[in-house]
Structure 1
Amino acid sequence: MTDIPGVILAGGLSSRMGGGDKGLRALHGRSLLGRVIDRMAPQVGEIALNANGDPARFAEYGLPVIPDSVAGYPGPLAGVLAGLDWAAGRGAEAIVTAAADTPFFPRDLVRGLQAAASADGVSLALAATPDPARGLVRHPTFGLWPVALREDLRAALDAGVRKVVQWTDRHGAATAVFATEPYDPFFNVNTPADMDRAEALLTEGAG
């Protein structure tokens, strides 16, 4: 565990799940969000949840809920910025983010991101996995983000930047590579079929 704050990104519209908060849907007797919190908690200090709308629906988790500061659901970069603003107010130097719909992400996510950033002499890193056909596949909602770049990110969002890697490449982000065996740790639940697959993975012992 480190003292770095963690931010769980749940600011999307969940349109492929029919809307609503997919993080609140039950997966094997525990909500998706609850499973993500359980996975992140041992790796970080404080945890905040980036989500829009009425924060009361997340009251049972006891986390600060921070909405996007950019209107119109512009994507995960807005959630990262909200997290950086929150962390800056607490005197933190960086945050680590994870998606609220990815219940199997690595238990050494934070350590891997920090090691990759340190090896490259940078303060920004994204997670990635190897793919035989495509090479390294980055997972841009899983990253290490320095608070020092928050105003640059704010300006980029104001200028219309929406794609995460468009901004991170500009700053020479490091890549932290994680194994995909025995299952892809970044498998995310977007559809009812994905929920069935996640249930199957848990039955098979994933986690």
Structure 2
Amino acid sequence: MTGPSRNDILGCVLAGGLSRRMGGGDKALLKLGGAPMLTRVIGRLEPQVSALVLNANGDADRFADYGLPVIADTVGDFAGPLAGVLAGMRHAQAMDEPISHVATAASDTPFFPLDLVERFAEVVTTPDTIVLATSGGNRHPVFGLWPVALADDLETWLKESDTFKVLAWVHRHRLATVDFDLVRHGERSFDPFFNANTPDDMIEAEYFLREQKIS
């Protein structure tokens, strides 16, 4: 099987978390390098997909400046990343253009690879293959390529399972992974899936932007 093309893939930025370690609110809207972190995430994912949506709960108007569809979770109350994946799948099913997959990225991970989706698509071998990113020996289940055909199965899982853990559902299906190299900058190695969960993480992100000139 040939993997999906860019035109077959909807991008979905997952911004539905509670941001407890940042003190609440939308950490994606915190400034990084003088602009909201979400601006960087959108700028990296949008060129890789046919269309882009933002998964977030609550008042959608807070993201109005981005001009993107804002889709809320369709099941549960803050049921985790899988609820956002499902919301992306359901949106894809309602689009006029045929979409076979949804590519997801976290809104607090501003340096993820610019060839993320292309490399995901290269390892798809069956229509139901799920693809996840890895780096430095770690798996990143929020960064994935998800077959829209699994939407009903995922919805049933979220409604009936006693866990919302991503990998618990993923391991019920065919899984492929793509490993991305750490980036060497001077004497330090940088994980492209670095995510900003705390105020200290934001300081670290500013360091990499300023001193190491991460693109």
- 1:138-196 Cα deviation digits (max 9, x unpaired): 10000000110000000110112311111111102111111112220100000000000
Quote the residue 1:206 is aligned against.
Answer: 214
Give the conservation status (yes or no) of the 8 Å contact 1:130–1:180: yes
Does 2:9 align with 1:2? no
The within-5 A match list for 1:4-43 is 4-43=9-48
**Normalized against structure 2, the TM-score is what?**
0.90
Partners of 1:159 and 1:116 in 2: how far apart? 30
Q: Secondary structure at the match of 1:5?
A: strand
Unaligned runs of 5+ in 1: 132-136
Quote the residue 1:178 is aligned against.
Answer: 180
Alignment coverage as a number of residue pairs:
201
Partners of 1:41 and 1:71 in 2: how far apart? 28
Q: Secondary structure at the match of 1:53?
A: coil
Unaligned runs of 5+ in 2: 185-189
Q: What percent of counterpart residues are identical?
A: 51
Quote the residue 1:50 is aligned against.
Answer: 55
Q: Secondary structure at the match of 2:6?
A: coil
- 1:48-93 Cα deviation digits (max 9, x unpaired): 0000000000000000000001122010000000000001111311
**Normalized against structure 1, the TM-score is what?**
0.93
Give the conservation status (yes or no) of the 8 Å contact 1:117–1:173: no
Q: Secondary structure at the match of 2:65?
A: helix
Distance 1:178 1:121, change over 3 A: farther
Partners of 2:180 and 2:168 in 1: how far apart? 22
Does 2:195 align with 1:194? no
